[in-house]
Chains A and B, each alone.
Chain A
Amino acid sequence: MSRALELAERALRFLDGEGQATVTHERSLVLRYARSAPTQATDVDDTSIHLLALRDGHTGSATTNVDTDEALRDAARRAMAAAEAAARAAGGPGDHPGLPAPPAAYDTHDGDDPDTARVDPSPGGAALKAAFAVAAERDLEAFGTWSTGAVETALASSTGMHAVDRVTDAYMKIILRDARGRTGWDAQMAVAVGDLDGEAGARRAAAKVTAEEPATLPPGEYPVVLDAYAVGGLLDQLAGLAFNGQSHAEGRGALEGKLGTRVAAPSITLTDAPHAAGTLPRAFDFEGVPKAPIALIRDGVAEHVVHDSRSAALAGGGARSTGHAATPGGDQFGPTPTNLVLAGGDARDLAALAAPIERGIYVTRLWYVNVVHPQQTLVTGTTRDGTFLIEDGKITKPLHDVRFTDSVLRILDQTEALSATAQLVGDAEFYGRRFAWGVVAPALRARGFRVTG
């Protein structure tokens, strides 16, 4: 038995009544660099033990990273006291329907790479050297991040759940910058550290640093080619705004009254697919419910939102958890997709996407995207590290970064074509305990993209 599962089962024994123990062990490395020199390097080894207690549909939780019996007993006492206090304060039953029963089995996945699980810094050092060398060849400076992690999650509950999942992830971001501040950008995300290639990534980034002075684009609506990372950035926002089963059940979601109706172009099929090729697979969510594919938008028609146990109970009508609990017992902000996959189209490459555009823009990635109006999926942000003008069907000159303010669903509704190939994209930000996620996204062309500054 894994040490994490042993620990989860030991912790569970300190809980009376209905409850769940979740153990998360993280080993991770992050190497950062700027101006072609290393700047910061972080090596984390930590284990969190989360204890969830339920009382009359109310939850209480306590987390500790100390695994002595004394610490576990104290955490269990706090969790139970919290659930009991919640039940007293609310004065009636809570909204949690009870912990799920264990499934017959979990699907296996290929999201655990043994080489990556060793969490060795030496491939990182080599990747940085390779990126620095390419930068030097081009008289540029390299900036970026190399990161790898291995996370084991074990779960034991009073309903008989006993589950372990091991995942690995690797990420490298490379920004090459010239003396005048013009940048080119590349990022790679994968299950296996061996799939990161510092030199190849640096060469792709270098190709986006052009000698030409950037032009300024006035506000207006433009045809756009959004590269995979820009598409992923928008879909990340859409995940929380449209597919959160809790918000939807409360009438606050962007798909309120729209399930079963067309919300995007017929070419848009968006799935949460935890075992799809190229994604970062997971076996189960934080309630131990198996991960399984679910169609969110099929051929432009909104089909489903995602649920944890709590939001499914709230939704009623026979809704069941879809395996999207973001925390044990369900996050107070509701469930969210973690493995979005946007189906590709038939465009051969970026050039093919740009070909029909007389005058428009090509955007490599977005920055500081934030919600303006949740129900309209209206967001604002800027472009960053590579924005270009498209003229007469060709990507021509660099542009200064622009601000956009637009609805994600409107952009998807305006989508005319998608690239045949898709890639795993994500920011690898890792606030708190490492939880790697990404979007498998193709590039796309949309008729209109609203530039507001």
Chain B
Amino acid sequence: MLDLLRETVERAAGHCAYAEARHVHTRLESLAVHDELVDAVDADESEGIGVRVLVGGAWGFAATRDVSSAGAEIALRRALALAAAQPAAGARPLAPVAPSTGHWESACAIDPFAISLDERLGHLFAAVAAMRGDARIIRAEAGAHMVRTRKALATSDGTAVTQVSTETGAGIEATAAGGGEIQVRTYPTSHGGNVAAAGWEHVLGLDLLGHAPRVAAEAIELLTAPELPEGRRTIVLHGEQVALQLHESIGHALELDRMLLGEAAYAGTSWVAPGDLTTALRYGSEHLNVSADATLAGGLGTFGWDDEGVPGARTMLVENGTLRAALSDRQSAAAIGLDGSGGCARAEGFDRQPIVRMTNVSLEPGAAGSLADLIADTGDGLYLESNRSWSIDDRRWQFQFATEVAREIRDGELGRLYRNPSYAGITPQFWGSLDAVCGPDEWRLWGLVNCGKGEPGQIMQVSHGTAPARFRDVQVGVA
């Protein structure tokens, strides 16, 4: 396939300033069960070639499922015609990148596609059965998700690389009803389960069966729990909620295309300006250290090369609360005079072009020890777990989140449960109130598989490493 892609790029020579051809083959399986029924056993396989060219400052990208040489040539012609049909644009330089060759694969100990459907469905049904029994549980469900993506990329800069990634994950959910109330509890995350760049061993490690009784019991307990009252409180966030908070209010805010207004019409802009990258902007407290790391084992944002052929790398975005860098691709990096791309150009599949995306944006572990240590160190507060709702404005400035549960912290111990908890804040103020992050033993990767951006829309998979963290004087009970 690389030869065909190279040939396509060579055909583009003389017609454009830059060309790339990418072949992507994706195999996906999605399983979902509830109660005694199978909701879905879906298998999806697709392949195709996407060709992107830069002509006179205008991009053209065309995708085809015809993976023959003739098909790729037609796609190239369509891409060139599309670029030419647009109004003239100024020069769009690209940050330099050294040509790469080679192959990369993510780790996968137990091939999820090699496990029989019966065994995988049985695994899910066992967890579902362990959530059932109480009549107040009106729906118990479980799902699993596995994807293998094979990519090949050739660029007019001389890059010719191939890579294979396998992603696997699972999760469970219990819905309880009673007294006119409906409550939902999930594990390990509320967005379809926790997914990692790994094989079926990751699902086994989640121990869905072991957590199922607790999940059901907490859903029932929430039915009669009081609503969280409005107020300003100290909050401790579970790692999963820290991950989404980080994703929405730091990850997206530091996408350089947003900062340069390139996404103003859809995803939005950013409260951070490009000039803030060189003026030591205060993003949060001294406990805030954030990395973007495309080399992290198990991360959904881990790769050998991004979709422009830039090698995966680790970059500190925020150090001790001070802004250091942004997430960039070759074009946005060049626009602000950087020496090289941040290596964040990623495309959903063969029929989408690369855009600036997060890799694995993580909150570095702190010195607050274990979660038990952090709770013990908190005199009065709330411990919030499992995202229930999320919304943030188009500058990534003002946000409002809700979680499935909150537990009161009184004199260093967990107490009563509250239902429908929520909190809101302003990004730099909120991260400025961060006063403790748990240590490396509590640090986990949380895989999100529903990050939307771009037109036409692209869903991207990203991971965030986080540990539970504490924030002071936060507005709660807002919804």
* Residue positions of A touching B, CB distance < 8 A: 28-35, 37-48, 58-66, 75, 78-79, 81-83, 85-86, 88-92, 94-95, 121-122, 124-125, 128-129, 132, 141, 143-145, 147, 173, 175, 177, 181, 183, 250-252, 332, 367-375, 378, 380-382, 384, 401, 403, 405, 428-432, 434, 452-453
Contact = CB atoms under 8 A, between A and B. Distances in A.
A141 B122 CA distance: 57
A380 B391 contact: yes
B182 A453 contact: no
B134 interface: no
Contact of A83 (B41, B90, B125, B352): B41
A260 B45 CA distance: 45
A121 B82 contact: yes
6 contacts: A41-B60, A43-B61, A91-B36, A143-B265, A374-B182, A384-B393
A128 B85 CA distance: 10
A89 B46 contact: no
B80 to A, nearest CB: 10
A40 B63 contact: no
Interface in B421-479: 422, 424, 452, 454-459, 478-479
B42 A61 contact: yes
Given A38-B87, A82-B42, A431-B457, A66 B47 contact: yes
B355 A40 contact: yes
A65 B391 contact: no
B138 interface: yes
A60 B41 contact: yes
Contacts of A37: 57, 87, 89-90
Tell me if A's interface is mostly helix, strand, loop or mixed: strand
Contacts of A32: 265-266, 455
A34 B42 contact: no
Contact of A367 (B138, B139, B393, B400): B393
A144 B455 CA distance: 10
Contact of B41 (A82, A173, A175): A82
A430 B352 CA distance: 11
A369 B400 CA distance: 11
B394 A44 contact: no
Contacts of B261: 34-35, 141, 143, 177
A252 B86 contact: no
Nearest to B354: A40
Contacts of B168: none
B456 A45 contact: no
B253 interface: no
A378 B479 CA distance: 9
A79 B40 CA distance: 11
Given A121-B85, A431-B457, 18 more contacts: A38-B86, A40-B355, A41-B61, A41-B86, A45-B75, A46-B65, A46-B351, A47-B65, A59-B40, A66-B65, A90-B36, A95-B37, A125-B87, A177-B264, A403-B400, A405-B479, A452-B400, A452-B479
Interface in B357-405: 388-394, 398, 400, 402
B37 A88 contact: no
A60 B39 CA distance: 9
Contacts of A42: 61-63, 351-353, 456
Nearest to B388: A372
A81 B113 CA distance: 13
Contact of B118 (A85, A384, A434): A85
Interface in B25-77: 32-33, 36-48, 57-65, 75
A129 B265 contact: no
Interface of B: 32-33, 36-48, 57-65, 75, 78-79, 81-83, 85-87, 89-90, 116-118, 121-122, 125, 138-139, 175, 177, 182, 261-266, 268-269, 351-353, 355, 388-394, 398, 400, 402, 420, 422, 424, 452, 454-459, 478-479
B251 to A, nearest CB: 15
Contacts of B86: 31, 38, 41, 121, 124-125, 128
Q: Which of A60, A251, A368 has the most CB of B within 10 A?
A: A368
A43 B79 contact: yes
Contacts of A381: 391
A63 B45 contact: yes
B391 A369 contact: yes
A60 B65 CA distance: 24
B174 to A, nearest CB: 13
Contact of B266 (A82, A145, A375): A145
Contacts of B458: 431
B139 A252 contact: yes
A121 B78 CA distance: 10
B43 A370 contact: no
Nearest to A26: B351
Contacts of B388: 372
Q: Which of B45, B355, B420, B455 has the most CB of A within 10 A?
A: B455
A7 B24 CA distance: 23
Contacts of A132: 87
A85 B124 CA distance: 13
B38 A61 contact: no
Contacts of A35: 261
Contacts of B456: 28, 30, 42, 44, 147, 429-431, 434
A121 B75 CA distance: 14
A375 B394 CA distance: 27
Nearest to A121: B85
Contacts of B48: 46, 65
Q: Which of A41, A81, A250 has the most CB of B within 10 A?
A: A41
B353 A40 contact: yes
Nearest to A185: B265
B83 A41 contact: yes
A50 B266 CA distance: 31
A251 B353 CA distance: 42
Given A47-B65, A64-B45, A38 B400 contact: no
Given A41-B86, A42-B352, A403-B400, A431 B452 contact: yes
B170 to A, nearest CB: 15
Nearest to B478: A452
Given A30-B456, A43-B63, A79-B43, A88 B118 contact: yes
B398 A82 contact: no
